[in-house]
Amino acid sequence: MVTVKIVKDLLAANAEIALKNRELFKTKHILVINLMSSPGSGNTSLLEATVKAIGNQYRIGVIEGDIEGIADAERLEKLHIPVVQLNTKGACHIDAPMVERGLEELPLDDIDILFIENVGNLVCPAEFDCGEDYKVLVFSVTEGDDKPLKYPLMFHESTAMVINKTDLLPYLDSSLETIKRNSLKSNPKLKIFEVSTKNNYNLDSWLRWLITKLTDKRGRV
Protein backbone atom coordinates (compact mmCIF):
# COMPACT_ATOMS: atom_id res chain seq x y z
CA MET A 1 0.00 0.00 0.00
CA VAL A 2 1.40 3.37 -1.03
CA THR A 3 0.30 5.22 2.12
CA VAL A 4 1.92 2.68 4.41
CA LYS A 5 5.16 2.83 2.44
CA ILE A 6 5.27 6.63 2.61
CA VAL A 7 4.70 6.61 6.37
CA LYS A 8 7.41 3.98 6.81
CA ASP A 9 9.85 6.00 4.68
CA LEU A 10 9.09 9.13 6.69
CA LEU A 11 9.73 7.42 10.02
CA ALA A 12 12.90 5.76 8.70
CA ALA A 13 14.23 9.12 7.48
CA ASN A 14 13.40 10.65 10.87
CA ALA A 15 15.17 7.84 12.72
CA GLU A 16 18.30 8.33 10.62
CA ILE A 17 18.54 12.07 11.44
CA ALA A 18 17.65 11.41 15.10
CA LEU A 19 20.67 9.10 15.28
CA LYS A 20 22.84 11.85 13.77
CA ASN A 21 21.51 14.41 16.29
CA ARG A 22 22.12 11.97 19.15
CA GLU A 23 25.74 11.39 18.05
CA LEU A 24 26.31 15.16 17.92
CA PHE A 25 24.83 15.63 21.41
CA LYS A 26 27.11 12.86 22.68
CA THR A 27 30.20 14.46 21.15
CA LYS A 28 29.28 17.83 22.66
CA HIS A 29 28.36 16.30 26.07
CA ILE A 30 24.91 17.92 26.01
CA LEU A 31 21.94 16.49 27.92
CA VAL A 32 18.86 16.84 25.71
CA ILE A 33 15.30 16.83 27.04
CA ASN A 34 12.29 16.72 24.70
CA LEU A 35 9.53 18.49 26.66
CA MET A 36 6.03 17.53 25.54
CA SER A 37 2.60 18.63 26.76
CA SER A 38 -0.91 19.69 25.87
CA PRO A 39 -1.21 23.38 24.89
CA GLY A 40 -0.84 25.58 27.95
CA SER A 41 0.24 22.93 30.51
CA GLY A 42 3.16 25.07 31.55
CA ASN A 43 6.13 23.94 29.44
CA THR A 44 7.52 27.45 29.03
CA SER A 45 6.75 28.30 32.66
CA LEU A 46 8.73 25.22 33.76
CA LEU A 47 11.63 26.28 31.51
CA GLU A 48 11.58 29.79 32.96
CA ALA A 49 11.57 28.43 36.52
CA THR A 50 14.36 25.96 35.69
CA VAL A 51 16.61 28.61 34.11
CA LYS A 52 16.01 30.96 37.05
CA ALA A 53 16.89 28.20 39.53
CA ILE A 54 19.99 26.61 37.94
CA GLY A 55 20.86 28.82 34.97
CA ASN A 56 23.81 30.32 36.83
CA GLN A 57 25.36 26.86 37.38
CA TYR A 58 24.44 25.13 34.13
CA ARG A 59 24.32 26.56 30.61
CA ILE A 60 20.82 26.00 29.26
CA GLY A 61 19.70 26.33 25.64
CA VAL A 62 16.22 25.91 24.15
CA ILE A 63 14.69 24.92 20.83
CA GLU A 64 11.16 26.31 20.88
CA GLY A 65 8.58 24.53 18.73
CA ASP A 66 5.32 26.26 17.88
CA ILE A 67 2.95 26.17 14.94
CA GLU A 68 3.21 29.97 14.61
CA GLY A 69 4.83 32.89 16.36
CA ILE A 70 7.84 33.71 18.52
CA ALA A 71 6.14 34.43 21.86
CA ASP A 72 7.80 31.58 23.82
CA ALA A 73 11.27 32.32 22.40
CA GLU A 74 10.83 35.96 23.42
CA ARG A 75 9.91 34.91 26.98
CA LEU A 76 13.06 32.82 27.28
CA GLU A 77 15.39 35.31 25.59
CA LYS A 78 14.63 37.65 28.48
CA LEU A 79 16.58 35.21 30.65
CA HIS A 80 19.65 35.67 28.43
CA ILE A 81 19.97 32.09 27.23
CA PRO A 82 20.42 30.86 23.63
CA VAL A 83 17.01 30.15 22.08
CA VAL A 84 15.93 29.24 18.58
CA GLN A 85 12.27 29.32 17.55
CA LEU A 86 10.99 26.77 15.04
CA ASN A 87 7.60 27.33 13.39
CA THR A 88 6.07 24.13 12.07
CA LYS A 89 3.41 25.97 10.01
CA GLY A 90 0.69 23.49 10.86
CA ALA A 91 2.61 20.36 11.78
CA CYS A 92 1.61 19.04 15.19
CA HIS A 93 5.09 18.02 16.38
CA ILE A 94 8.82 18.66 16.14
CA ASP A 95 10.81 15.98 14.31
CA ALA A 96 14.51 15.18 14.02
CA PRO A 97 15.17 17.13 10.77
CA MET A 98 13.62 20.26 12.34
CA VAL A 99 15.89 19.87 15.38
CA GLU A 100 18.88 19.38 13.09
CA ARG A 101 18.11 22.72 11.41
CA GLY A 102 17.59 24.43 14.77
CA LEU A 103 20.99 23.21 16.00
CA GLU A 104 22.72 25.24 13.28
CA GLU A 105 21.57 28.38 15.12
CA LEU A 106 22.77 27.37 18.60
CA PRO A 107 26.22 27.68 20.25
CA LEU A 108 26.48 23.98 21.06
CA ASP A 109 29.90 24.29 22.69
CA ASP A 110 28.35 26.60 25.29
CA ILE A 111 25.35 24.47 26.28
CA ASP A 112 25.10 21.83 29.04
CA ILE A 113 21.36 21.13 28.89
CA LEU A 114 19.28 21.59 25.74
CA PHE A 115 15.50 21.58 25.99
CA ILE A 116 13.27 21.03 22.98
CA GLU A 117 9.86 22.53 23.81
CA ASN A 118 7.66 20.51 21.51
CA VAL A 119 4.41 21.73 19.96
CA GLY A 120 1.51 21.62 22.44
CA ASN A 121 -0.17 18.32 21.59
CA LEU A 122 -0.80 15.19 23.66
CA VAL A 123 -0.53 12.80 20.70
CA CYS A 124 1.94 13.33 17.83
CA PRO A 125 5.15 14.48 19.59
CA ALA A 126 5.37 11.09 21.32
CA GLU A 127 5.76 9.35 17.96
CA PHE A 128 8.94 11.16 16.87
CA ASP A 129 12.48 10.59 18.10
CA CYS A 130 14.43 13.85 17.82
CA GLY A 131 17.70 12.41 19.15
CA GLU A 132 16.95 13.47 22.74
CA ASP A 133 18.13 11.60 25.83
CA TYR A 134 14.74 11.72 27.50
CA LYS A 135 11.17 12.62 26.68
CA VAL A 136 9.54 14.46 29.59
CA LEU A 137 5.82 15.15 29.80
CA VAL A 138 4.49 18.29 31.46
CA PHE A 139 0.93 17.49 32.50
CA SER A 140 -1.29 19.97 34.31
CA VAL A 141 -3.95 18.98 36.81
CA THR A 142 -6.50 21.09 34.91
CA GLU A 143 -6.49 18.56 32.05
CA GLY A 144 -8.44 15.99 34.07
CA ASP A 145 -7.34 12.78 35.74
CA ASP A 146 -8.74 10.58 32.95
CA LYS A 147 -6.31 11.86 30.29
CA PRO A 148 -3.53 9.34 30.97
CA LEU A 149 -6.00 6.60 30.00
CA LYS A 150 -7.15 8.43 26.84
CA TYR A 151 -3.69 9.40 25.51
CA PRO A 152 -1.56 6.47 26.73
CA LEU A 153 1.30 6.70 24.19
CA MET A 154 2.51 10.05 25.55
CA PHE A 155 2.72 8.57 29.06
CA HIS A 156 4.27 5.35 27.79
CA GLU A 157 7.04 7.12 25.86
CA SER A 158 7.99 9.56 28.61
CA THR A 159 10.75 8.80 31.11
CA ALA A 160 9.45 11.44 33.51
CA MET A 161 6.30 13.48 34.04
CA VAL A 162 6.07 16.86 35.73
CA ILE A 163 2.55 17.35 37.09
CA ASN A 164 2.09 21.11 37.07
CA LYS A 165 -0.47 23.60 38.44
CA THR A 166 -0.92 21.68 41.69
CA ASP A 167 -1.85 25.04 43.27
CA LEU A 168 -5.19 24.71 41.42
CA LEU A 169 -6.11 21.30 42.88
CA PRO A 170 -8.45 22.75 45.56
CA TYR A 171 -10.63 24.18 42.77
CA LEU A 172 -10.83 21.03 40.62
CA ASP A 173 -12.47 17.61 40.61
CA SER A 174 -9.16 16.15 39.39
CA SER A 175 -7.38 13.91 41.86
CA LEU A 176 -3.59 13.84 41.98
CA GLU A 177 -3.66 10.22 43.11
CA THR A 178 -5.85 9.24 40.13
CA ILE A 179 -3.59 11.11 37.68
CA LYS A 180 -0.59 9.23 39.05
CA ARG A 181 -2.34 5.83 39.17
CA ASN A 182 -3.64 6.17 35.60
CA SER A 183 -0.25 7.36 34.31
CA LEU A 184 1.56 4.42 35.88
CA LYS A 185 -0.83 2.03 34.10
CA SER A 186 0.73 3.08 30.79
CA ASN A 187 4.24 3.27 32.18
CA PRO A 188 5.00 1.70 35.57
CA LYS A 189 8.54 3.14 35.49
CA LEU A 190 7.42 6.75 34.95
CA LYS A 191 9.27 9.12 37.28
CA ILE A 192 6.76 11.65 38.63
CA PHE A 193 7.27 15.16 39.99
CA GLU A 194 4.46 17.29 41.45
CA VAL A 195 5.05 21.02 41.11
CA SER A 196 3.53 24.43 40.71
CA THR A 197 5.61 26.77 38.57
CA LYS A 198 3.34 29.60 39.67
CA ASN A 199 4.68 29.61 43.21
CA ASN A 200 7.85 27.54 42.62
CA TYR A 201 6.38 24.73 44.73
CA ASN A 202 8.46 21.54 44.92
CA LEU A 203 10.79 22.24 41.98
CA ASP A 204 13.81 20.81 43.82
CA SER A 205 13.26 17.15 42.99
CA TRP A 206 12.81 18.01 39.28
CA LEU A 207 16.02 20.06 39.33
CA ARG A 208 17.92 17.30 41.15
CA TRP A 209 16.74 14.74 38.57
CA LEU A 210 17.96 16.95 35.72
CA ILE A 211 21.37 17.48 37.28
CA THR A 212 21.72 13.75 37.99
CA LYS A 213 20.91 12.94 34.36
CA LEU A 214 23.50 15.48 33.16
CA THR A 215 26.13 13.97 35.49
CA ASP A 216 25.21 10.45 34.29
CA LYS A 217 25.58 11.48 30.68
CA ARG A 218 28.94 13.10 31.22
CA GLY A 219 30.08 9.94 33.02
CA ARG A 220 29.07 7.85 30.02
CA VAL A 221 31.02 9.82 27.37
Q: What is the binding site for Mg ion (CB under 5 A)?
A: 43-44, 72
State in angstroms the smallest separation of the CB of 44 from Mg ion.
3
Identify which range of 11-19, 90-98, 124-132, 159-167 contacts ligand GTP by CB under 6 A: 159-167
List binders of ligand GTP among 173-212 (CB under 6 A).
196-198
Beta bridge partners of 171: none
Residue 40: name its binding partner from Mg ion, ligand GTP, none (Cβ under 5 to 8 Å by kind): ligand GTP
Q: How far is 50 from 195, CA to CA, in rounded Å?
A: 12
Residue 34: name its binding partner from ligand GTP, Mg ion, none (Cβ under 5 to 8 Å by kind): none
Which string of x and - marks every residue 16-55 that binds ligand GTP (by CB under 6 A)? ---------------------x-xxxxxxx----------
State in angstroms the smallest separation of the CB of 116 from Mg ion.
12
- CB within 8 A of 52, min separation 6: which ones? 79
Length of the chain: 221
Residue of closest CB approach to ligand GTP = 120
Q: How far is 60 from 147, CA to CA, in rounded Å?
A: 31
Residue of closest CB approach to Mg ion = 44
Q: Does 159 bind ligand GTP (CB under 6 A)?
A: no
Residue 164: name its binding partner from Mg ion, ligand GTP, none (Cβ under 5 to 8 Å by kind): ligand GTP
Closer to Mg ion by CB, 17 or 126: give it.
Answer: 126
Among 106, 167, 180, 207, binds ligand GTP (CB under 6 A): 167
Q: Does 164 bind ligand GTP (CB under 6 A)?
A: yes
Contact 15, 127 (CB under 8 A): no
Nearest residue to 166 via CA among 191, 141, 143: 141
5, 81, 113 from 213: Cα distances, Å: 37, 20, 10
Q: Which residues of 103-120 are buried (b: 16+ CB within 10 A; e: fewer)?
A: beebebeebbbbbbbbbb
DSSP 124-176: GGGG---S-SEEEEEEEGGG-TTHHHHSHHHHHH-SEEEEE-GGGGGG-S--H
Residue 21: name its binding partner from ligand GTP, Mg ion, none (Cβ under 5 to 8 Å by kind): none
Interface residues with ligand GTP (CB under 6 A)? 37, 39-45, 72, 120, 164-165, 167-168, 196-198
